[in-house]
């Protein structure tokens, strides 16, 4: 069964600290993996996208890694800010033909001052 599991479900950290969010998937065949940030009451916004051959991708203080062999990805947030408080969603897609986005349940991050 094609699934995307994220951990932890929720996380609270102090401003300025780093954190890492995990995403494990069983989707096959695999096309690419995205991380989205979803602010409360808003639609998701893409942070990074990685294909099978990419191991890491950065977007400012956000760095995503991908291990296609173990089917694991992580999103590392450096020097967290209050504005990082949001849900982070891992999305895995399959190649066109059976093209479907499979969404993880998300990690809810709260950054405290």
Partner 1 sequence: SAVISQKPSRDICQRGTSLTIQCQVDSQVTMMFWYRQQPGQSLTLIATANQGSEATYESGFVIDKFPISRPNLTFSTLTVSNMSPEDSSIYLCSTRHSTDTQYFGPGTRLTVL
Binding residue (CB under 8 A) for partner 1 from 49, 68, 72, 76: 49
Per-residue mark of binding to partner 1, 50-89 (x: CB under 8 A): ---------------------------------------x
**Tokens 């808003």 appear where?**
42
* 69 neighbors 30 (Cβ within 8 angstroms): no
Taking CB under 8 A as the binding criterion, the range among 12-20, 30-38, 61-69, 71-79 that sits at the site for partner 1 is 30-38
Cα separation of 113 and 74, whole Å? 24
30 binds partner 1 (CB under 8 A): no
Q: Exposed, middle or buried by CB within 10 Å (0-12, 13-18, 19+), for 99?
A: exposed
Shortest distance (Å) from residue 22 CB to partner 1: 15
């Amino acid at each position: 069964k094609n699934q995307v599991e994220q951990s932890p479900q929720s996380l609270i950290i102090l401003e300025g600290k780093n954190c890492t969010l995990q995403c494990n998937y069983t989707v096959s065949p695999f096309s690419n993996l995205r991380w989205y940030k979803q602010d409360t009451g808003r639609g998701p916004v893409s942070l990074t996208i990685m294909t099978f051959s990419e191991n890491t991708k950065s977007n400012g203080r956000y760095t995503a890694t991908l291990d296609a062999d173990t089917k694991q990805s992580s999103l590392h947030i450096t020097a967290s800010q209050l504005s990082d408080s949001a849900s982070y969603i891992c999305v895995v897609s399959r190649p066109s033909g059976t093209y479907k986005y499979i969404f993880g349940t998300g990690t809810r991050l709260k950054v405290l001052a």
